[in-house]
Amino acid sequence: MRHYVGGGFDASGVPFPLFDPARGIVVGEAPSASRELVDRAVGAAREALRGPWASWSPADRSRLLHRIADGIEQRFEEFVDAECADTGKPRELASTVDIPRAIANFRSYADLLAGRGERSWHTATPDGRGALNYTVRKPLGVVAVISPWNLPLLLLTWKVAPALATGNTLVAKPSELTPGTACLLAEVMAEADVPAGVFNVVHGGGADAAGQWLTEHPGVDAIAFTGESRTGGAIMRAAAARLAPVSFELGGKNAGLVFADADLEQAVAGTLRSSFTHSGQVCLCTERVYVERSVFDAFAEALAAGARALSGYGPMVSAAHRDKVLGYLGKAAADGEVLAGGGAPRFSDDRDGGFWVEPTVLAGLPEDHPVVREEIFGPVVHLAPFDTEEEALAYANAGPYGLAATVWTGDVGRAHRVAPALDVGIAWVNTWNLRDLRTPFGGVKASGIGREGGDHSLDFFSEPMNVCVKL
């Protein structure tokens, strides 16, 4: 594990341990960036802005993004190995979602960039000769990219690809829990002939470490961050001091609505997927489900049975995160009903030292209970009944978050009525996590600021300028 600064690899810094989440043992270490190294990375990115990179055309950058995608594809199995080693997620998930999506991120932005144009207007003037107004989009400059531990490569590339497409230079800091794929990506960048300093990686923690030093650095022009809402608030305060633009994808306490006219089998299968994919460690996962009262018992019984039958799921990413999730389960057991799961599984092998939590289905808790209101980010879902559509919407829209929601119904009119009424950035009807990379992605309230995806990302990472020419 090495930093990547100014086109070269650097292993300096106090090492910190890396754990195998499945077994709970130390399997390696990574270096913590010093303040001096972070400063050097920002300086390298700043210098690269004034170098040959500044003269690269959109077509040049588009071809580069395709080369990077090719590089990840050629080392596909290495990326899968690194993703699984860092996160403990099942290999099937990493090989069918995380790494393919990282490749798609670079390819989709390469294609969007190649087909993108600017706007122009012919403007009347008093002398009759007119003027031509047109827009030019310019890079923001040096962008800090802070990515989380749950989808390390996918969410890193989701920001890196459009930032490079629009001509910025970057300093990336992956989570200290999952640095592996960022290191491999740096190798791919070098192999793809990305100019020195255009892409940099530094490792380390957040507070009083690389993350804080990077987001507070006066040489950073913009910040793109995915992670916890409280951390987003701290970063926003740092950015406010110099009025740096921010793009935040933050936490969620996502709701699902199941109406009596839904295909119950489909709703149960979809909710199992939306609640327990990557053991609930996805910002889009469903943590609370409201079910129309007439089908509540049947749905709860089927979902609990499905949760008990799940196999092949992964561990929590760390001991601290496992303990946090188990703490919520202890509160739930004391105040409500545990329909399935509720603790740590036993395997009678070396996995018993890992950071595992059973897929858990809860019921019977009041709406103001911490388990219902606070983001748990684990394999935990709470069920509650509702009687009317209005009541379901009130439950779903309550609370500080507004990232995503699911609606399960067989009534097309209800689908079009309910989905837009949800206070979220994205609502899925009779499906979950079906994504078109061109569409806007992000949250409202404490779930984020701004939108990512397609032109929305290209617009964030570039500044429009108007040029007016008198004819």
Cα 198 from Cα 220, distance rounded (Å)? 13
C-alpha closest to that of 145 among 238, 215, 57: 215
Residue 342 CB partners (closer than 8 Å, separation 6+): 329, 332, 333, 358, 360
Structure tokens given for 313: 């799921």
Written as one string, the DSSP assignment of 424-463 is: SSEEEES-SS---TTS-B--EETTEES-BSHHHHHHHTEE
- The question of whether 249 is a catalytic residue gets the answer yes
Written as one string, the DSSP assignment of 246-299 is: EEEE----EEEEE-TTS-HHHHHHHHHHHHHGGGG-STT-EEEEEEEHHHHHHH
Cα 85 from Cα 122, distance rounded (Å)? 57
Structure tokens given for 146: 């802070």
Parallel/antiparallel/unpaired status of strands 444-445 and 401-402: antiparallel
Beta strands in 327-400 (DSSP E): 337-340, 360-363, 380-386
C-alpha closest to that of 1 among 169, 224, 184: 184
C-alpha closest to that of 169 among 190, 194, 201, 143: 143
Catalytic one of 176, 216, 249, 375: 249
Residue for token pair 């059973």: 358
- The question of whether 367 is a catalytic residue gets the answer no
Catalytic one of 176, 283, 358, 452: 283
Cα 287 from Cα 280, distance rounded (Å)? 8
Active site residues: 249, 283
